[in-house]
Structure 1
Amino acid sequence: MASSTTTTPKRLIVLCDGTWQNSVSGEAYSYPTNVTRFSRALSQFGDRDGQKVPQIIYYQPGVGTGALADKLAGGIYGAGLSACVRAAYGFLAHNYNPGDQIYFFGYSRGAYTARAIAGLVTSLGLLTKKGMDRFGAVYQEYYQHQSQSQGSHPQQPNIARLEELSGGELHPGAKDSVEIVGVWDTVGFHDPKPILGNNDTGEQFEFYNTALSSRVNYGFHALSLDETREAFLPTLWDSEIGVTTNTNGSNSVKQVWFSGTHAIGGGDKDSILADIALGWMVSECNSTKTLSFVDVDESDRMSYLLAESTTSASAAAGGADTPWATATYPPAIDTAAGGGASGLLSSLKKKATDAFWTVTNWVLPPKSGVRTPNAAGLDPARTNERLHQSIRDRRFDRWPCRPVKGRVPGQTSRWQLAHKPGAVLDESVPGDVESMLKGRIRPVG
């Protein structure tokens, strides 16, 4: 049985970084992803019904951040998923107390990892310390069910069997403790058997359930419009019965498309498009009133996101009138910017990365990598997708967008999509915090 000792509630925040991304690696010339920047923008404490609540962060580097072989396996098919899921689950199980709130954030394959852990928690719950002695058997049972379930609304796991394997050692209420799952450009994991033959590595691949559990109060997904690599095809939340609503009656799922490639999740020196997706995520999470951020909470004197000239929310008011960064993108090529060790290393890394993904796209099963917003086409309630409002300022004449044809004639906030005649998508409406942060987020380079 779980302990009934009364404790101060806390917020347990799991952050899973993208492929090859590790903000604590010590590399001299690396740039933080939105996962890292989001974690650093969180206040140490939040407020819950007038009570001071610790916000405890668990950061997990992305797959492929080890030696060369690990980088190749993690990059091509995402080796390391199971280990990441188990490690984060263990952190939660060892630190959770009834009444705590749980949050998951991730980028790229880290987004897939975050969603997999959230699915495990909302299906099974969290094992107690004694129960973790049985975690191997419980996880195998859960995984076997997931690997056999396909579609956006598969059968539920055999909860009775999972509880039997756990010996009843489960924290009460943990299944309903997940407040937010927030992700940037979810990329799935690929079973290596079509490439490498039988999988003898002991690694496990693929969680096929793409729906978001109704137990999760909020799901926020930022997606890139301009990524074309087949290996980076996104995995949207898709519910055949429509998106759910939380207890406040608002949509629990928001999936918004942003101008830019997969790097809208950060990790590059040029972060102006990633800044937009980061500001949106912070704003959406802040609007739930279940997370606190240093640049938004007036009671927190620290600052991280805002440039030094605008170190408080009040000083930054009026951002809604600022053009989105898409108005000046892509920037002119600066031939002098590549000088020095930093510029040389960045150039070499980019060339190596481009070559790697060229090979990866060749070995993976062929698909079109062009994004298709609102692919469901008929019922937008299945995915609740929007185009981010920054599409308004995009210069289509010098930066064409393959998935988007242009505005619907006579309408300012509805856009024609290219993948299917008659397909359209509406704009998102920026929140107050998003408007405040627009154009004011501190650059990473």
Structure 2
Amino acid sequence: MSRSIRHAHEPSATDTLVDIEDDYLKPQANGKAQFKTQEERQTNCPPVIPPTNLSRTLVLCFDGTGDSFDADNSNVVQFSSLLKKGDKAQQLVYYQSGVGTYVAPKTVSPTTSKALQVLDMMFAWNLDAHIMDGYEFLMQNYQSGDRICIFGFSRGAYTARCLAGMLHKVGLLTADNKQQVPFAYKMYTRVDEVGWAQATDFKRSFCLDVPIEFVGVWDTVDSVGAVVDRRLPFLTSSKVIKTFRHAVALEEHSAKFQANLWNEPTPEEEELGQVRPCPSTNPESKARPMSEHLEERQKTDVKEVWFAGCHCDVGGGSVVNYTRHSLARISLRWMVRECFAAESGIMFDANRLRDIGMNPATLYPVVLQRPPPADCSISTIQAPIWHNKGTAEGESQSILLSSLKYLLPLWYKHNNAVHHHETHHVEPFLSEEDEEVKDVHSPKYDQLDNKRGWWLLESVFLPMRDAGYDRITHWRVNLGRPRVIPKPKEGKKLYVHRSVKMRMALVDPKTKKNYMPASLTAAVSPWLRKGDMIEWVD
């Protein structure tokens, strides 16, 4: 169950000194306990929260296409920087740079190496290696009782979800079985009837059935190759995931960045994990669960929340490092709060949380309900400022790479363009609500506005999938169309972050009208005509 979220001045009647640490309660004359004020809790907040865990946490972070530690880091890097490191008995952190960043062997020239990275972005030919590398980290480090938490952005989110799918389908090999990893991956990728049967038998023979505590992703894209598409099993759902959180961009509208949303497992996927009786067993016996874990699993706790901005405004990387305010900070803080609310066991550095505008005392030992949004004193959203930077590398590029940059603007971004937003000196932290107001006013960075090369892909017929389908459902010329949000299931509403509502009260500098994401209009998502279909979340 997820941790409850409540006001500090309204402790639950069932709370006891066993439930909450003494340092966060103050005794009263009537013998009851009362929550301390935020200031009192801030003073006593431990340097790492939670300070200790009964079980170890393994955190894997997968960056987006062309993303690595650089001048404009994504939320994956930012999130990784918040985590406690240095105590292997409590937490291990694994970071992997994105598709298109794997460097060729040293015998290859720098120009050839760069060309191979570009081709990797086009055809995603290293996707298999990305997934297997994460799998090997878990294989070598997992111990019984460990909590597995996986995060990713863009195509790194795709990789993260494929890794979860691989763990679901074939399980986790025990340590020092590196030679078996390619076979396990082959079993995972096979989707024919023989492949399903072999995967189940492989899992029973060689692997552990491991649960995944938490999967948190920013704007998963629906394809991993800029030119050639890749599709793998259990991408859209996985029964082994306990908690799934997804921050989705409302305003991304490029053809190759269609959103990949959660879908319930198919009947075939539901049955996977039921192994057939061995020949030596009673022939009347029925399929049995792979392990006790499978019997105990509950339905995945899924929450997908839509945020203002385009792809990199939600997943990070649209502004240079140390920019004090940006749209990406909103979804980053939301993801951190969800980690605490789900009691994921992930350990954070309290001081680093303050750097992103969060008060650790509002997250631990209980996640406090957020107060209403602060008032916006400025009525207009800031306009983006694009700055191109000339580099020696850029000036000496070959004709081949110079032409490829127009086909692959994401690669070009990391070599010749940085989006500058006004940077700020470090200011005293006031409250998360004040930080949120400034972030809400931050500009949106739309790649189709600045990278005209993307319009080549917008102007040709490309395969598309309707939400909920793994197969291609139609072909179309995208022409920058907004994302169509699928209608929620019966009785459900669309989760939209409250910062979007705050932004809707501001003037868009491009249209000179009040901000309104096209995807939230009935013209794009017709089911919204019904009204009262949006739930604003904190």
Taking structure 2 as the reference length, what is the TM-score of the superposition? 0.59
8 Å CA contact 1:273, 1:325 repeated in 2:
no
8 Å CA contact 1:31, 1:268 repeated in 2:
yes
Residues 333 and 129 of structure 1, relative CA distance in 2, 3 Å threshold: closer
Q: Deviations over 1:367-414 (max 9, x none)?
A: 535444541465365xx7411111211236243321123xxxxxxxxx
Residues 126 and 217 of structure 1, relative CA distance in 2, 3 Å threshold: same
Question: Partner residue of 1:299?
Answer: none
8 Å CA contact 2:65, 2:98 repeated in 1:
yes
**Matches for 1:29-48 after TM superposition, within 5 Å:** 30-44=71-85
**Per-residue deviation, 1:189:** 2.6
Question: Partner residue of 1:162?
Answer: 199
Distance across 2 between alignment mates of 1:135 and 1:350: 38
Question: Partner residue of 2:310?
Answer: 261
**Matches for 1:100-179 after TM superposition, within 5 Å:** 100-129=146-175, 131-145=177-191, 158=196, 161-162=198-199, 164-165=201-202, 168-171=205-208, 173-174=209-210, 177-179=211-213
**Matches for 1:198-277 after TM superposition, within 5 Å:** 205-239=230-264, 252-263=301-312, 264-269=314-319, 272-277=326-331
Distance across 1 between alignment mates of 2:240 and 2:376: 36
8 Å CA contact 1:19, 1:108 repeated in 2:
yes
8 Å CA contact 1:62, 1:109 repeated in 2:
yes
**Per-residue deviation, 1:128:** 1.4
Note if 1:281 corresponds to 2:371: no
Residue identity (%)? 26
**Per-residue deviation, 1:44:** 3.6
Question: Partner residue of 1:429?
Answer: 537
Match of 2:456, SS state, is helix
8 Å CA contact 1:210, 1:238 repeated in 2:
no
Residues 392 and 95 of structure 1, relative CA distance in 2, 3 Å threshold: same
Q: In the alignment, residue 358 of structure 1 is paired with which amino acid?
A: W
Q: Deviations over 1:290-338 (max 9, x none)?
A: 234435xxxxxx411324997753699997344489976631466xx95
Q: In the alignment, residue 184 of structure 1 is paired with which amino acid?
A: W
Distance across 2 between alignment mates of 1:232 and 1:22: 19
Distance across 1 between alignment mates of 2:489 and 2:252: 24
Q: In the alignment, residue 309 of structure 2 is paired with which amino acid?
A: G
Residues 144 and 11 of structure 1, relative CA distance in 2, 3 Å threshold: same
Question: Partner residue of 1:413?
Answer: none
Residues 190 and 99 of structure 1, relative CA distance in 2, 3 Å threshold: closer
Residues 339 and 89 of structure 1, relative CA distance in 2, 3 Å threshold: closer
Note if 1:187 corresponds to 2:255: no
Q: Deviations over 1:70-128 (max 9, x none)?
A: 44334344332111001110111111111111111000000000000001112211011
Question: Partner residue of 2:110?
Answer: none
Match of 1:256, SS state, is strand
Taking structure 1 as the reference length, what is the TM-score of the superposition? 0.70
Moved more, 251-260 or 325-334: 325-334
Q: In the alignment, residue 535 of structure 2 is paired with which amino acid?
A: E
Note if 1:359 corresponds to 2:463: no
Distance across 2 between alignment mates of 1:33 and 1:165: 37
Match of 1:15, SS state, is strand
Distance across 1 between alignment mates of 2:306 and 2:377: 13
Q: Deviations over 1:141-163 (max 9, x none)?
A: 22122xx6xxxxxx8962x5235
8 Å CA contact 2:253, 2:482 repeated in 1:
yes
Residues 312 and 211 of structure 1, relative CA distance in 2, 3 Å threshold: closer
Q: In the alignment, residue 520 of structure 2 is paired with which amino acid?
A: V
Question: Partner residue of 2:417?
Answer: 349
8 Å CA contact 1:259, 1:273 repeated in 2:
yes
8 Å CA contact 1:257, 1:373 repeated in 2:
no
Aligned counterpart for 1:15 among listed residues 36, 48, 61: 61
Question: Partner residue of 1:404?
Answer: 520
Q: In the alignment, residue 386 of structure 1 is paired with which amino acid?
A: Y
Match of 1:133, SS state, is helix
Q: Deviations over 1:192-244 (max 9, x none)?
A: 8xx67xxxxxxx931154432222110000000011111111110112789x9
Distance across 2 between alignment mates of 1:86 and 1:99: 22
Question: Partner residue of 2:141?
Answer: 95
Residues 323 and 89 of structure 1, relative CA distance in 2, 3 Å threshold: same
CA RMSD of aligned residues (A): 4.1
Question: Partner residue of 2:381?
Answer: 330
Match of 2:58, SS state, is strand
Q: In the alignment, residue 333 of structure 2 is paired with which amino acid?
A: G
Residues 283 and 62 of structure 1, relative CA distance in 2, 3 Å threshold: same
Residues 285 and 90 of structure 1, relative CA distance in 2, 3 Å threshold: same
Question: Partner residue of 1:64?
Answer: 100
Runs (5+) with no aligned partner, structure 2: 1-53, 104-112, 271-294, 395-412, 420-446, 463-475, 508-512
Aligned counterpart for 2:502 among listed residues 375, 388, 393: 393
Residues 327 and 305 of structure 1, relative CA distance in 2, 3 Å threshold: farther
Residues 166 and 392 of structure 1, relative CA distance in 2, 3 Å threshold: closer
Distance across 2 between alignment mates of 1:64 and 1:325: 40
Match of 2:354, SS state, is coil
8 Å CA contact 2:73, 2:316 repeated in 1:
yes
Q: Deviations over 1:39-80 (max 9, x none)?
A: 11123489xxxxx96121110000112443244334344332
Moved more, 92-101 or 324-333: 324-333
Distance across 1 between alignment mates of 2:460 and 2:519: 25
Note if 1:379 corresponds to 2:413: no
Residues 190 and 332 of structure 1, relative CA distance in 2, 3 Å threshold: closer
Residues 191 and 39 of structure 1, relative CA distance in 2, 3 Å threshold: closer
Distance across 2 between alignment mates of 1:36 and 1:79: 23
Task: State the number of aligned residues.
Answer: 369
8 Å CA contact 1:417, 1:423 repeated in 2:
no
Q: Deviations over 1:395-437 (max 9, x none)?
A: 36243321123xxxxxxxxxx674215355322432xxxxxxx
8 Å CA contact 2:140, 2:176 repeated in 1:
no
**Per-residue deviation, 1:15:** 0.7
Residues 326 and 423 of structure 1, relative CA distance in 2, 3 Å threshold: farther
